[in-house]
């Protein structure tokens, strides 16, 4: 792993270095061996092009979920952790995964704890993953921790998958409808305009407006097409810049019809995360710290205030209620969990309740939205066709 290092020399000059090291501690040792004092050590992030990770040929992204599934299978079969990682390394052909497994094995052979070895690769293993592994090391329950993480990831991916699946069909309809409309306006309308020009008759106002626009698009198509593409790209970049500053959830929360549902989705993921951490044996304050790193800006501030309230002696239900992190149903479930001592399980049950509500809302929304979208596309295309044929009907009526 590469690190960017800023260090101070003996004469107090700032020196910038890029080092290959197993982890931040190894990079610090290399810096000190050169007679320098490290001021900042940051892992080098993969280069990005247009917001996407750039990977050289022959490399592939390391899948934490697949790694966890394979590691769980080997540990359940009776292999030790080192033996399981060695088996995964032997069958791995990808450069990225093989290098990472080599570093994990090297750290374990040096006597480091598995959680510390994982934490040295924050660009691969999230803080949530490191946290549950660290808690499992105190109870020798690594397989159970991996099962909890896989179950959590499956739940999160399931919600994301339902949202993506629900958006695919409307996007296809919108793309096809837009393409048909552009074809009619840019290709068919100009040719109808040439026919009507020799008719010597006045046309209906709307038809004349459509034909004028079609002629304009036909004459300046070489300029309009690149301009439209540039406009789409500029809009995409603008949306991307806006999202990078404020986040997708912050924008969606401002939409009246979606704001409440976005809040429910956020609460579902928060409760699921906290439930998994608490069931894994992590203290509530540490679990909130981990959840803060995964939340958006607004949610992070609320969680920080709730954590401070808990440290002052308030129960979780009261702290969350004071920060608007509950619904009338979930606050009752949290109170039951606090009384029974099963707060982790009750948080998971709350997440299950929210997931069901989200799924039902997605189904209702799509049953209503898809017909409306098809109707709107049909009206646009139908209006263009009717306006094109109205002069023909007018001419036909004049011949009788």
Dist. CA 343–CA 335, nearest whole Å: 8
Exposure string (b/e) for 14-23, b if CB count within 10 Å is 16 or more? Answer: eeebebebbb
Q: Domain segments of the chain: what residues?
A: 2-53, 64-125, 142-400
pLDDT for residue 82: 87
Query: How many Å is the Cα radius of gyration of the chain?
Result: 30
Q: Which CATH class is domain 142-400?
A: mainly alpha
pLDDT for residue 253: 61
Find out whether 326 and 271 touch, Cβ atoms under 8 Å: no
| Region class of 213: left (phi > 0), else alpha (psi between -120 and 50), else beta | alpha
pLDDT for residue 48: 39
Residue carrying structure tokens 């009750």 = 346
pLDDT in tens, the chain (400 residues): 567 777 766 655 556 777 766 667 777 777 777 777 776 777 765 443 333 343 433 344 678 888 888 888 888 888 888 888 888 888 877 777 888 888 888 888 888 888 888 888 888 888 778 878 877 776 667 888 888 888 888 777 777 777 777 778 788 888 888 888 777 777 777 777 766 665 555 666 777 777 777 767 667 666 767 777 788 788 777 766 655 544 555 556 666 666 677 778 888 888 888 888 887 777 888 888 877 766 766 777 888 888 888 888 888 888 888 888 888 888 888 888 888 888 888 888 888 888 888 878 878 877 888 888 888 888 888 887 777 777 666 666 555 5
Q: At what angle do helices 297-311 and 256-279 cross, to 10 degrees?
A: 50
| Region class of 393: left (phi > 0), else alpha (psi between -120 and 50), else beta | alpha
Closest CA to 274 of 243, 319, 244: 319
Helix/strand/coil for 60: coil
Residue carrying structure tokens 């610090």 = 28
In sequence order, what DSSP letters do the residues of 317-349 get, joined into one string?
Answer: HHHHHHTT---HHHHHHHHHHHHHT-HHHHHHH
pLDDT for residue 399: 53
- Helices and strands: H and E segment counts in the chain: 17, 5
Which tokens go with 98? Answer: 């093989």
Sequence-distant (6+) residues with CB within 8 A of 209 are none
Helix/strand/coil for 103: helix
Distance of CA 237 to the CA centre of its chain: 17
Sequence-distant (6+) residues with CB within 8 A of 15 are 6, 7, 8, 9, 36
Helix/strand/coil for 42: strand
Q: Which helix (H) or strand (E) holds 19?
A: strand 14-20
Find out whether 382 and 316 touch, Cβ atoms under 8 Å: no
Going 38 to 43 to 44 to 47, the CA torsion angle's sign is negative
Which tokens go with 132? Answer: 């549950």
């Amino acid at each position: 792993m590469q690190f960017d290092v800023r260090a101070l020399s003996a004469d107090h000059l700032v020196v910038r270095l890029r080092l290959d090291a197993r982890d931040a501690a190894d990079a610090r040792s290399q810096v000190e061996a050169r007679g320098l004092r490290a001021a900042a050590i940051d892992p080098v992030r993969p280069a990005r092009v247009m917001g996407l990770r750039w990977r050289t040929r022959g490399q592939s992204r390391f899948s934490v979920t697949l790694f966890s599934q394979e590691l769980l299978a080997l540990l359940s079969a009776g292999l030790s952790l080192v033996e399981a990682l060695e088996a995964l390394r032997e069958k791995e052909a990808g450069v990225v995964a093989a290098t990472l497994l080599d570093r994990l094995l090297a750290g374990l052979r040096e006597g480091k704890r598995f959680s510390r070895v994982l934490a040295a690769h924050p660009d691969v293993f999230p803080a949530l993953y490191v946290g549950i592994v660290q808690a499992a090391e105190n109870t020798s329950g690594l397989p159970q921790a991996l099962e909890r993480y896989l179950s959590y990831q499956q739940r999160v991916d399931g919600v994301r998958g339902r949202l993506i699946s629900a958006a695919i069909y409307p996007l296809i309809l919108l793309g096809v409808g837009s393409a048909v409309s552009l074809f009619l306006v840019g290709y068919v309308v100009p040719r109808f305009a040439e026919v009507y020009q020799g008719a010597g008759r006045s046309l209906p106002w709307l038809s004349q407006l459509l034909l004028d626009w079609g002629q304009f698009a036909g004459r300046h198509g070489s300029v309009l097409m690149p301009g439209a593409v540039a406009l789409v790209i500029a809009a995409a970049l603008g949306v991307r810049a806006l999202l990078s500053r404020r986040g997708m959830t912050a924008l969606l929360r401002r939409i009246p019809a979606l704001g409440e549902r976005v809040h429910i989705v956020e609460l579902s993921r928060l409760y699921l995360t906290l439930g998994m951490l608490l069931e894994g044996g992590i203290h509530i304050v540490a679990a909130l710290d981990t959840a803060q790193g995964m939340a958006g800006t607004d949610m992070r501030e609320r969680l920080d205030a709730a954590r401070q309230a808990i440290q002052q002696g308030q129960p979780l239900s009261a702290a969350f209620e004071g920060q608007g992190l509950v619904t009338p149903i979930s606050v009752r479930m949290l109170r039951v969990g606090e009384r029974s001592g099963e707060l982790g399980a009750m948080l998971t049950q709350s997440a299950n309740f929210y997931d069901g509500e989200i799924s039902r809302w997605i189904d209702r929304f799509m049953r209503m939205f898809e017909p409306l979208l098809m109707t709107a596309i049909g009206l646009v295309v139908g209006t263009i066709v009717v306006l094109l044929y109205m002069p023909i009907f007018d001419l036909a009526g004049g011949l009788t």
